[in-house]
Amino acid sequence: MRRAFTLIEILIVVLILGLLAAIVIPQFLDVTGDAQRTAFVNSARIFVAAAKLYELDHGEYPDEGHGELPDGFGHYIQSNKWESATPIGGEWEAKVDTGGITAALGVHYEGGDPNHDPAQMLVIDEMVDDGDLATGAFRQFGDKHYFFIVAQ
């Protein structure tokens, strides 16, 4: 005699699997977001240290630019790391003599970039700074520009 699962048994198993997925997936997404923010902060710290070394060697900070590597900066960082999207989306950007800041490196979001999330930028600021995007070592400039201050 053959024994098969009833429709009720199958529905119960599907329900249990759905509940487990509902518990696990949000936790996985949180871990992914944390990893992306941490990778962004670590890359930015490397770029800031490289910009400071560049200034020691050349007497000035790297030129401005976003998406493209500033002239001469490729001797201090891997160009593919700068020219690819940041771990949190957007493009890497260098600024000099802007908003009372001598030099800054950070991320720039174009137009309607779906990765632009002001709440995420506040979380990053809380990770590395004072939790206020208007002050400290990580700041917001304009609508879609966020920078680590290299020198004031």
pLDDT in tens, the chain (152 residues): 678 888 888 889 898 888 888 887 777 666 678 888 999 999 999 999 999 999 999 999 999 887 888 888 989 998 888 988 899 889 999 999 888 889 999 999 987 777 788 888 999 999 888 889 989 999 998 888 999 999 98
> Which amino acid is it at 2?
R
Q: Is 116 domain-assigned? A: yes
Residue 2 located in a structural domain: no
Residue of 50, 26, 42 whose CA lies nearest to 127: 42
Counted domains in the chain: 1
pTM of the predicted model, to two decimals?
0.77
Range of the domain at 38: 7-151
Residue 59 lies in a domain: yes
